[in-house]
Structure 1
Amino acid sequence: MSDKQSNESSSSEGVQPYLRDGGRASVHSGEEEQDLLRTISEYNDETVTSGEARENERAREEDLEKGIRPPGPPPKYSLFSKENRGVRMQVFKQYAVVILALWIFILSVWPIYWGSMYKRDGRLINLHFLVAVEEDRAAPISQALYLATQHPELQLSATWDFESNLSEADVQKLIHDQKYWAAIYVTESNVSQSLTNAFVSAENIDTRNFVRSLYETARDPTTMEGFVSPTVFKFEAYFQDALQTEIYPALIKNLTSEQFSRLQNTNVLTSYPIIQPTDAIPVEPVTNGPLQVGLIYIIIITFFEVMWMAQLYGTVAKSAITIHYIMFRVVLSQLNYLLISLAFTCLNAAFQIKMDNSWKGGFGVFWMVSYLTMAAVGGANQNIGLILFAIHPPLMGFWMLFFVMINISATFAPIPLCPEFYRFTYAMPIKNAYELLKVTLFDTSRKNLGRYFGILVAWIVLNNLLLPVCMAFFSWNMKRKIMKEVKSKNDAKKN
């Protein structure tokens, strides 16, 4: 053999193994790619949640153990091929049903929240304001207060109730007891006489403390900032306008020329009483956390708790008698809410939210209110979740949004400014939790304390009584579905 042939042979032998290895790598890579694509299509959302993927894998493993070659996957075609015409029609029908369901949900449930704000300005007269005047309502200051309330804009902004001979303590009690949203009152019974004397005697006068306004922002921070405070500011403008255009000219008219001449050397003509605002219970911005978004998070976290505990409940159900299994779920749920609410309370304490304004053991009270709230909404989530999961699992997401909306629509908005339909909010757990937290954090009125606690406890008791019924429905419906699927598969095998 020549050197040239020897070199060609060596070269050929050196190249062939590389080509064979490369070919194997290419084939192996192609098989891996096919396996990956098959996995994506076989282990999809529907087959995994329905258990079909697990059943197929179990059957494949059994065939391998018996030495039987597992059947290959069914043939697949382009989505737009004629073989998939039936699939396309099925997908279109299912898609239309899903979109229709979302449309119905949006147009029927979301309006609950939008409706609470609809034409709210037309119901401002449902907000009652107190105007506490002097015994003589015709006195200059009292008359100016009355004239201010007659302005068309203020007539549409609130309902103005007049009272006489009220002390400052009386006014404070009426506001704290939530009889009125705000009060505008004269500080003393002789303020008008002091003003008249200043005109007659031509003496300087300090009118800054003649009239005050009183309100409690903690009663409802959103309402105070959005409606009450702006109304008080507008009232002050119209009150001073009445003094300038009606009251002061009338007082000047009764003066002699000499008195008016001396009056010009004083501050009386330019000293108009202002309305000194007093916020009896102000609110720190950080408290909006537990009072608003925090309450929404409570609903959501209890929904997560139900899903996280499902495997644990299943473990107990396999080995415990039925009555003990039911009792275990009831007790463990309450323990979960107790511990999760403790974390919620510690979170608020970490941000230095003061909890002892109303009671010395404010931390414990806040914890118990949080627990009652979680138990009330969590029990409802658990029961409805069992029912909806047994019927159609995607409905659970609809329930979550619906439950949040019916709880918050009129909770963070003043119910008097909402349509009468929203009176149901008084019976919702989040509304009563909201009121209890305000009492705990700010020492607001306690007159309805029993009702707030009673409604939360009623929700908890009702949820626990209904839990066995919901569990029975879940088991019955799921068993019926599984038996129907098994029967369908057996019939398919026979055919």
Structure 2
Amino acid sequence: MRRYPKAKERRVSAHEPEVQKSRFAVLRAAARSGIILTLLFLSLFCYLFGSLYQLVGHTHNLNVAFVDYDGGLIGDAVRQAYQRLRGDSFPTLIEHPSGQYPQPAALRSAVCNIDYWGALYISAGASDRLATAISDAQAAASYNRSDVLTWVWNEARYPTVIDTLAQQITALAEAARVAYVQLNGTGAIQSLDATSLAAVEAYSNPWELASINIQPTAQGSRLVYNTLVIVLLLIQEFFFLATINGLYVQFGLFGRLKPRRMIIYRFMISGLYTLAGSICTTGAIWAFRAEWQVNGSQWALTWITLWLFAHLNFLTLDVVAVWLPPPYVPMGLITWVVLNISSILIPFELSPAFYKWAYALPAHACYSVLIDIWSGGCNPRLGYALPVLFAYELSSGTLSAIGVYRRAHYAVIAAEREEKSWQEKIASAIADSGGASAPIQGAGTAEGVEVAKEEDVESSAYPQRKSSAESASDREELAGRIWRATSQMTLGQSSSQRKDSLGPSFTLG
């Protein structure tokens, strides 16, 4: 193309032996990487899909407490309806005597303490009030349909899952209404005050399921709290880590500063960056919270939790970047992302038992803390979640600090190797010139090149300093060889630095 005239210059034939050798090497490397990536992504897909395998069939692992404070016909109707709906795809209803939970507030505490995913109870005297409303017009006028069956739940705890559970409990209440008519059909019809519209309505629609939602969470953004929010935080830390490594390589800091000072600087920089990132993330969540009832204290706690989670992931990804070969670092990132996301997509009750090992992953611990914050303490897992988060912070911080020493060590080795290569290139250039010139002091460095230039100028100014066999063309040829050799070293310097950076790096400027 005319816009890129140099694109076709200095090209060799594809049939050249060296090109064919390089081509086969490239094909082998590409095939190896392709096989590894294919197997990796196949494994990740299988792991992710396995966590969701037979999701509906595990619904029976969601336990719901049931207490009948009434002890009448309505309780029998609920039991009969549950027996019809009972199955692997329906939550398990566990009935308790009223003495175990004397007041409905005790059931709310049980749900808040995550003993159950929800609780269903029948108000005391509900059957008698319904029977009176059917037969007495005056009682029917004051009959409260919402004071019969009550559903207690916490929508902040995996909102999409708990919403489906609430729909199934609503279906149970509807089925119980049909069962009530079947159990008390003849008696209700005989006692029905047909002259009262309120009595007829009480008979046809005896109750409406009341709801006690500990923390309503109906905003649309709730769908990504346990998915995209976590994914973007992880990717954000990876890119910033690559940027920091690129700056360290670009300015040669690994080979110049003391490791202890670099550890302190990296910890401070990463701490400030994750501080700002977590503030922005929390601010975005609050900006689009809609009618979500959360306060300033919950905002601060959410910010601190996300800050800790972001920083420990920066350190963990830094450890991955240090100890994995550079070509495999992106593979480590995607594996880390998929493992963490799979641990919080759905509750472990809906996954095969194998996936419970993910209690040890920071994303699950972080989301458990967030649920506790958002629902006002109704997810008491801080005793497990906080130690997991701090364990990652400490262990990854320690390994990351060791990684700085490792980088500094190999940076010095790379510098020594580069200096030796400079010396060999310049010595080779001098040797190729016929050895006419004397060895140049410090030829292996950039200063040596400058000295060579100065000596070349001096020799032309003072002919007595050069041998009789040396000519101007020899000097020019020698200088040209030296500059060509040093230019090749300069071109290969960036790739050498990137190879020895031991991690992802983006060079800026």
Could you say which TM-score interval applies, normalised by the shorter chain? 0.7 to 0.9
Deviation at 1:439, TM superposition (A): 3.0
Shift in Å, 1:105? 0.6
Is 2:251 aligned against 1:280?
A: no
Q: 2: distance between equivalents of 1:292 and 1:106? A: 19
Deviation string for 1:252-273 (max 9, x for gaps)? 4xx8xxx547557641542332
CA displacement 1:292-340 (0-9 Å, x = unmatched):
4222111111111111112443444344223222333233322332233
1:216 to 132, 148, 154: 154
Per the alignment, residue 70 of structure 1 pairs with none
Equivalent residue in structure 2 for 1:129, among 60, 64, 69? 64
Gaps of 5+ in 2: 432-509
Spell out, residue by residue over 1:93-133, the C-alpha distance to the aligned partner (whole angstroms, 9 max, x if none): 22321221122111222222111101122211110011121
Aligned residue-pair number: 415
The Cα of 1:195 is off from its aligned counterpart by 2.7
Q: Tell me what 1:108 maps to.
A: 43
- Secondary structure class of the residue paired with 1:277: strand
Answering whether residue 127 of structure 2 is matched by residue 192 of structure 1, we say: yes
Distance in 2 (CA, whole Å) between partners of 1:202 and 1:354 is: 40
> Aligned to 2:43, what secondary structure does the other structure show?
helix
Q: Give me the whole-angstrom Cα distance separating, in 2, the residues matched to 1:202 and 1:356.
A: 41
Where does residue 35 of structure 1 map in the other structure? Answer: 6
Aligned pairs (5 A) from 1:56-95: 76-78=12-14, 84-95=19-30
Structure 1 residues 483 and 418: alpha-carbon distance in aligned structure 2, compared to 1, 3 A threshold = farther
Q: Which letter does structure 1 place at the counterpart of 2:116?
A: Y
Q: Does 1:332 align with 2:303?
A: no
Structure 1: unaligned runs, 5 residues or longer: 1-28, 39-72
Residue 131 of structure 1 contacts residue 185 of structure 1 at CA under 8 Å; is this kept in 2? yes
- Answering whether residue 98 of structure 2 is matched by residue 160 of structure 1, we say no
In the alignment, structure 1 residue 229 sits paired with structure 2 residue 166: yes
Contact 2:309/2:362 (<8 A) preserved: yes
TM-score by length of structure 2 reads: 0.71
Moved more, 148-157 or 119-128: 148-157
* Residue identity matched to 2:334: L
- Find the aligned partners of 1:270 and 1:201 in 2 and give their Cα distance: 15
The amino acid across from 1:436 in the alignment is V
Task: Determine the C-alpha separation between the residues in 1 that align with 2:192 and 2:223.
Answer: 56
C-alpha spacing 1:143/1:269, structure 2 compared with 1 (3 Å)? same
Give the fraction of aligned pairs with identical amino acids, expressed as a percent.
18
**How has the CA–CA distance of structure 1 residues 353 and 382 changed in structure 2, closer, same or farther, with 3 Å as cutoff?**
farther
The aligned counterpart of 1:63 is none
Aligned partner of 2:258 in structure 1 is 321
Per the normalisation by structure 1, the TM-score is: 0.73
- Which residue of the other structure, out of 142, 166, 179, is the alignment partner of 1:242? 179
Confirm whether residue 178 of structure 1 aligns to residue 149 of structure 2: no
**Conservation of the 8 A alpha-carbon contact between 2:149 and 2:209:** yes
1:34: how far off?
5.2
Local SS of the residue matching 1:110: helix
Is 1:384 aligned to residue 317 of structure 2?
no
Maintained 8 Å contact 1:429/1:459: yes
Which amino acid in the other structure matches residue 154 of structure 2?
A: E
What's the secondary structure of 2:156's corresponding residue? Answer: helix
Q: Displacement, 1:382?
A: 1.1
Query: Is contact 2:86–2:92 with CA below 8 Å preserved after alignment?
Result: no
Taking the aligned partners of 2:65 and 2:74, their CA distance within structure 1 comes to 15
Residue 390 of structure 2, aligned match among 445, 452, 457: 457
Partner of 1:169: 105
2 CA distance for matches of 1:181 and 1:250?
37
- Of 43, 47, 55, 1:120 maps to 55
Q: Shift of residue 197 of structure 1? A: 3.8
Q: Deviation string for 1:415-450 (max 9, x for gaps)?
A: 111111211222221222222223333424152224
Residue 413 (structure 1) shift: 0.8
Secondary structure class of the residue paired with 1:125: helix
Q: Which digits, 9 at most, give the CA deviation of each residue in 1:137-157, with x for residues without a partner? A: xx2011111111111445641
Q: Aligned equivalents of 2:262 and 2:411: distance in 1?
A: 18
Relative to structure 2, which stretch is displaced further, 189-198 or 124-133? 189-198
> Taking structure 1 as reference, are residues 222 and 200 closer, same or farther at Cα in structure 2, changes over 3 Å only?
closer
1:239-318, aligned counterparts within 5 Å? Answer: 239-245=176-182, 247-249=183-185, 251-252=187-188, 259-260=190-191, 262=193, 266-267=199-200, 268-283=202-217, 284-288=219-223, 290-314=225-249, 315=251, 316-318=253-255
Task: State the alpha-carbon separation in 2 of the partners of residues 97 and 303 from structure 1.
Answer: 25
Aligned counterparts of 1:261 and 1:214: Cα–Cα separation in 2: 32
Q: In structure 2, how many angstroms separate the alpha carbons of the residues matched to 1:481 and 1:147? A: 77
Once the two structures are TM-superposed, the CA of residue 219 in structure 1 deviates from its matched residue by 1.3
Counterpart CA distance in 2 for 1:135 and 1:243 is 14
Contact 2:214 2:375 in 1 (8 A): no
Corresponding position of 1:369: 305
